Structure 1
Amino acid sequence: MTAQEAASAPRLIQFTCPDEVTSDLRRDLVDCWVAVSNAGGAVIPYGFPPPPVTEREVGPVLDQIADGLDPRRCRMLVATVEGELAGWLILRRDPHPVVAHCGVVNHVQTHLRFRRLGIGAALMHRVRDVARDEMGLARLGLGARAGLGLEEFYRRLGWVEVGRWPGALRVAPGDDRDEILMSLAL
């Protein structure tokens, strides 16, 4: 690895408690989410209006996520490159005993400035390790929006498509997309 590659390699940081999400990190996460959503990314959560979105819409949703961080049930993984937020995701476990061995990955996003640099893959490799080694999970699931090639990205990382929910995601009036359900055995 060259010095330049080492300098631009992502640093992966895990957050497990609400008080770990500083106001600066919160601002960077919201900025990332707004940029990714407005560029057509697949991270528009339920409750957002269709793009364009603003900090005012995204901020409260991010606050709910941050407030729900808990080492047993919900963790945030953040990738930085040279101190700048490059991407992030959320890993959740359902507390119900029948499914407590499974986790769900949500809000996977890479900031536009850091696309095509392996940030998303680095986050997905790390979340696998955290889920298995630190949370004791046996399987992960995620939903991806059809029409963006995301299923190919996840397949390259070992995920398997296990189903589709036809037309489940209304991106805009007249633009309904399948939700692709994917799974990864740990």
Structure 2
Amino acid sequence: MTASHEEPEFRQITRPGEATEELRRQLTDCWAAVINAGGAVIAPGFPMPPVTPGHARPVVDRLVDGLAPQRGRLLTARAGGALAGWLVVRRDPHPLVAHCGVVNHVQTDPRFRGRGIGAALMRQVRDLAREEMGLERLNLAVRGGLGLEAFYRELGWAETGRWPGALRVAPGDDRDEILMTLALVPSAARD
């Protein structure tokens, strides 16, 4: 790998007490920066852009406070000591789909875009979900019109459906919500 694409340092947060105040601030700042740069990671409680860290902080706190090793984990990526990106992976609690997980809030700080951070996070979450959480499948939803489905396809994800016009970005700008899935192959089968 070139210096601009060196592998980031990953860390899992599995319990609320593991997330320091400094990490919560970094997650909050990253989220506001991603949204204001056009990222598609709006969550309930957020206004439409522009947003401030104050909008993101209550949502970050709810995410972190809901972490538990077998139910939900936060995965961070650091480059040069700075938070470069993060995501959340959750197990579905219903017994019929408890073998599945959902990946949410995938984001790369705009200062680190183009360095492979997002792809590295997605490879790391695949391994974490399979090997540590015992999941067999991951699902995610992305906003149409941004080319995100191509990014995920390159990483092995498959489109399973669309909800046409489900997301209203602005008046007259409705986008599809694209549903994607990734079957998690046991590591012995990959070798």
**TM class, shorter-length:** over 0.9
Partner of 1:98, secondary structure, is helix
Worse-superposed segment, 41-50 or 12-21: 41-50
Given candidates 59, 80, 83, the residue that maps to 1:82 is: 80
Deviation at 1:46, TM superposition (A): 2.7
- Give me the whole-angstrom Cα distance separating, in 2, the residues matched to 1:91 and 1:85: 18
2:47 paired residue number: 49
> Residues 4-153 of structure 1 correspond to what in structure 2 (within 5 A)?
4=3, 8-153=6-151
- Pairwise mapping of residues 164-179 of structure 1 onto structure 2 (< 5 A)? 164-179=162-177
- The one-letter amino acid of 2:97's match is V
Q: Distance in 2 between matches of 1:135 and 1:40?
A: 32
TM-score normalised over the length of structure 1:
0.95
Q: Secondary structure at the match of 1:28?
A: helix
The SS at the match of 1:152 is: helix
Across the aligned residues of Structure 1 and Structure 2, the Cα RMSD in angstroms comes to 1.3
Gaps of at least 5 residues in structure 1 are none
SS state at 1:80 partner: strand
2:161 pairs with one of 149, 155, 163: 163
- TM-score when normalising by structure 2: 0.93
1:79-128 Cα deviation digits (max 9, x unpaired): 00011000000000111111100000000000001001000000000100
Aligned residues with identical type, % of pairs: 67
Residues 100 and 84 of structure 1: is their aligned pair in 2 closer, same or farther, counting only changes over 3 Å? Answer: same
- Give 1:65 deviation, angstroms: 0.0
Query: Which consecutive aligned stretches of 4+ in structure 1 deviate over 2 angstroms post-superposition?
Result: none
Aligned AA (2:57): G
Where 2:40 maps in the other structure, the secondary structure is coil
Instruction: Kindly provide the CA deviation profile for residues 117-167 of structure 1, in whole angstroms up to 9, marking residues without a partner as x.
Output: 000000000100011111111100000000100000000000000000111
Instruction: Please give the alpha-carbon distance, in whole angstroms, between the structure 1 residues aligned to 2:72 and 2:167.
Output: 24
5+ residue gaps, structure 2, are: 185-191
More off after superposition, 20-29 vs 8-17? 8-17
Report if the CA contact (8 A) 2:36-2:51 is conserved: yes
